[in-house]
Amino acid sequence: MDNIKSYVQHHKDRFINELIELLKIPSVSADPAYSQDVIDTATAVKQSLEKAGCDFVEICDTPGYPIVYGEKTIDPNLPTVLVYGHYDVQPPDPMDLWTSPPFEPVIKKTEIHPEGAIFARGSCDDKGQMYMHVKALEYMVQSNTLPCNVKFMIEGEEEVGSKSLSWFVERNQEKLKNDVILISDTGMISNQQPSITTGLRGLSYVEVEVTGPNRDLHSGLYGGAVANPINVLAKMIASLHDENNHITIPGFYDNVQELSTEERAEMAKAPFNLENYKKALDLNDVYGEKGYVTNERNSIRPTLDVNGIWGGYTGEGAKTVIASKAYAKISMRLVPNQDWQEITELFTKHFESIAPAGVTVKVKPHHGGQGYVTPIDSIGYQAANKAYTETFGVPAIPVRSGGSIPIVALFEKELKSKTILMGFGLDSDAIHSPNEHFGIFNYLKGIETIPLFYKYFVELFKK
């Protein structure tokens, strides 16, 4: 049996085509219109795990979308790796900005991906990265090199808050028992410089509704005489940041862990070019909290962003109306030690308290999750670093990511084990955006690197 490198070379076309088939199913968990597709995707994942060599695979019902669970047990005395991933994807809109349809995957070469990248919603986040683990298992089973037991838990609600996953994990602690949790749902610095995400931000996501008059009004007859819910919502949102872009919610920063000067110096070593960053986004300047640099603002600092806003007349032309209601979706990224439920309460209390007379305000919590930090002295981190070093030729750099995988904190709490975030995507892969893509190089490199993690993890575990 050939080694992983040649195995990947030999089967890469099939690996790519299998992923493309999976990407064709529009598993958008946020929109009920796609519910059957989400369920079909679960079935497809189940079949892929069976083919790859799991002894046992099942689709587990939950209050929401099902969770695909699979396992292969070699020897109960050996350690167990739990692989987590998600088969649901973000909504594709705005559709008109996609250069090819989001659910008709195509391979295109880009400057960063000269070997080509698969363009499709979910190609990187997370179908592509999840499927690397399925193909890595296939290799280890075929080549009889699987050094330990493995469990898969692939969910369908990651993009909408993993509600059913927490429900499932709380009820299946024995079944999910493991020695380390392995996730590929993050990125790395570049195709030349691997990195391991050691920190994640938490999340609190809410929707707010501001109601003024009980019906839409003519802005000529009523303009200036009643509170306009849109103007009021704008004022309330604006007041959530001060002139230094600090968040003004009382108590918001109380539990924020301030990093030491040393830690910040360590972070600053990660390669970063502000000019390229601005150029890539067509920005004349960056923007953010005073006293912190870009790489700190999006990783070690909590933030508050409006993710959507709507109200009044948004059609073609002009309508002189004062809307009865205005809405916004607002999310806060949190750092370790900030409790997302507490922050949600602080936000709600504050937002309701700043509503002026003339309007009523409703805050509806959507979902959330805690922040998380992985110690770099854990054997899981070391095994991952050795694996990257072998396949990329350079050691990985530990980085704090601004993103959130709320369930990582849940795993630590419920399953008492550490999570290793082996990401193979790039920031430029446009996840959550039109034209999301995943490099062929990254996909295959992931399949190649993962078996080495198993190898080194078991070695270090036995010591």
Q: Footprint of a second copy on residues 408-427 (CB under 8 A)? A: 427
CB of 409 to a second copy, least distance (A): 14
Residue from the set 76, 96, 215, 244 that interacts with a second copy by CB under 8 A: 215
Q: How many residues bind a second copy (CB under 8 A)?
A: 102
* Burial of 12 per CB tally in 10 Å (0-12, 13-18, 19+): middle
CB of 241 to a second copy, least distance (A): 7
Q: Which helix (H) or strand (E) holds 153?
A: strand 149-155
Stretch that binds a second copy, among 10-18, 112-120, 219-227, 450-458 (CB under 8 A): 219-227
Site residues for a second copy, window 2-21 (CB under 8 A)? none
> Of 85 and 187, which has the nearer Cβ to a second copy?
187
Name the residue among 54, 56, 57, 63 with its Cα closest to residue 42. Answer: 57
Site residues for a second copy, window 137-156 (CB under 8 A)? none
**CA-based angle 328:331:333, to the nearest 5?**
165
> Of 345 and 427, which has the nearer Cβ to a second copy?
427
Q: What DSSP string describes 91-107? A: ---SGGG-SS-TTS-EE
Query: What DSSP character marks residue 436?
Result: -
Letter for the amino acid at 216?
A: D
Site residues for a second copy, window 39-68 (CB under 8 A)? none
Residues in contact with a second copy, shown as a per-residue x/- string from 289 to 308 under the rule CB under 8 A: x----xx-xx--xxxxxxxx
What distance in Å separates the CA atoms of residue 40 and residue 74, rounded to the nearest whole number? 30
Site residues for a second copy, window 148-207 (CB under 8 A)? 159-161, 187, 201, 203, 205, 207
The per-residue b/e assignment along 187-207, b for 16 or more CB within 10 angstroms, e otherwise, is bbbebeebbbbbbbbbbbbbb
Residue from the set 77, 94, 269, 273 that interacts with a second copy by CB under 8 A: 94
What distance in Å separates the CA atoms of residue 191 and residue 206, rounded to the nearest whole number? 36
Name the residue among 343, 376, 336 with its Cα closest to residue 250. Answer: 343
Q: Three-class SS of residue 367?
A: strand
Bridge-based pairing state of the strands 149-155 and 67-72: antiparallel
Residue from the set 21, 170, 223, 258 that interacts with a second copy by CB under 8 A: 223
Are 378 and 418 spatial neighbours (Cβ–Cβ below 8 Å)? yes
> Of 333 and 455, which has the nearer Cβ to a second copy?
333
> Of 194 and 229, which has the nearer Cβ to a second copy?
229
Rule CB under 8 A: is residue 267 a binding residue for a second copy?
no
Letter for the amino acid at 339?
A: D
Residue from the set 167, 222, 441, 461 that interacts with a second copy by CB under 8 A: 222
CB of 13 to a second copy, least distance (A): 30
Site residues for a second copy, window 392-411 (CB under 8 A)? 401-404
CB of 360 to a second copy, least distance (A): 7
> Of 129 and 404, which has the nearer Cβ to a second copy?
404
> Of 160 and 383, which has the nearer Cβ to a second copy?
160
Residues in contact with a second copy, shown as a per-residue x/- string from 308 to 337 under the rule CB under 8 A: xxxxxxxxxxxxxxxx--xxxx-x-x----
Site residues for a second copy, window 63-92 (CB under 8 A)? 90-91
CB of 419 to a second copy, least distance (A): 16
> Of 74 and 280, which has the nearer Cβ to a second copy?
280
Residue from the set 77, 276, 353, 357 that interacts with a second copy by CB under 8 A: 357
Strands laid side by side in the 117-119 sheet: 106-108, 117-119, 437-439
Q: What DSSP string describes 12-63? A: HHHHHHHHHHHHTS--BTT-GGGHHHHHHHHHHHHHHHHHHT-SEEEEE--S
Sign of CA dihedral 413, 148, 83, 395: positive
Site residues for a second copy, window 363-392 (CB under 8 A)? 366-367
Rule CB under 8 A: is residue 233 a binding residue for a second copy?
yes
CB of 180 to a second copy, least distance (A): 24
* Burial of 172 per CB tally in 10 Å (0-12, 13-18, 19+): middle
Rule CB under 8 A: is residue 433 a binding residue for a second copy?
yes
